[in-house]
Chains A and B, each alone.
Chain A
């Protein structure tokens, strides 16, 4: 295990649902990240939080809303998603400017 946990591991939701993904890191890191991984595409960075402050929003649609209440927890709130949002959502943490450690991901399916 990498010290980064994600829940749930699998999620199926309709386009009108609201759900949240949770990430927790037990490594004492000061930066956390959300990535989207679709089939046959590179990892897409979505958001970066350094010291609980959002420092990067990689042109992510507003139907994805991140929240970082403290340096150990990161959430991704989902609402009115589209089928093309189905993917593996990965959380990572690091010390700023160092290697990132990834969680196992949440496999999201939007019906």
Chain B
């Protein structure tokens, strides 16, 4: 069946270091992927997305990498700051498919140590 899972439930990094959060997906038909950040007491916040015709996409301090061969997605955060502490979710969709629902992973807690 469809599933999106994260390799590491918790990631602890030092302030200023780079962070890498990983995600595996199993649905070969998925062709649109999104990373969300959820801070305590808030709803998930869109960070960056990528479509399957790309391998890499960069935003402000964030980069998403997509490896369709091994069905792997990663989020890289440069110069991690205390404000980056949150739970990060990956989500997948079959863009233009029968349904526009997103399938979310379980989330990774990023803890930034000062």
- A42-B104, A43-B89, A56-B101 known; A99 and B46 CB under 8 Å? yes
Please measure, in the bound complex, the distance between the C-alpha atom of A41 and the C-alpha atom of B107, giving whole angstroms: 9
- Contact of B43 with A43 in the complex, beta carbons under 8 Å: no
| Contact assessment for A105 and B34 in the assembled complex, using a CB-CB cutoff below 8 Å | no
Contacts of B104 in A (CB 8 A): 42-43
Contact assessment for B100 and A31 in the assembled complex, using a CB-CB cutoff below 8 Å: yes
* Inter-subunit contact A43/B49 (CB<8 Å): no
Total A residues in contact with B, Cβ cutoff 8 Å: 26
Interface size (B, Cβ < 8 Å)? 23
* A-B CB proximity, top 7 nearest: A102-B43, A43-B104, A102-B44, A97-B100, A42-B104, A42-B106, A104-B43
Task: Enumerate 17 A-B pairs (CB-CB under 8 Å) in ascending A order.
Answer: A31-B100, A42-B4, A42-B89, A43-B44, A45-B101, A45-B102, A50-B100, A55-B100, A58-B101, A90-B43, A97-B96, A99-B46, A100-B46, A102-B43, A102-B45, A103-B43, A104-B42
Task: Give me the interface of B with A, judged by CB distance under 8 Å.
Answer: 4, 32, 34, 36, 41-46, 49, 89, 93, 95-96, 99-102, 104-107
- Known: A42-B4, A97-B95, A104-B43; 7 extra A-B contacts, CB below 8 A, are A31-B100, A42-B89, A50-B100, A55-B99, A56-B99, A100-B34, A105-B42
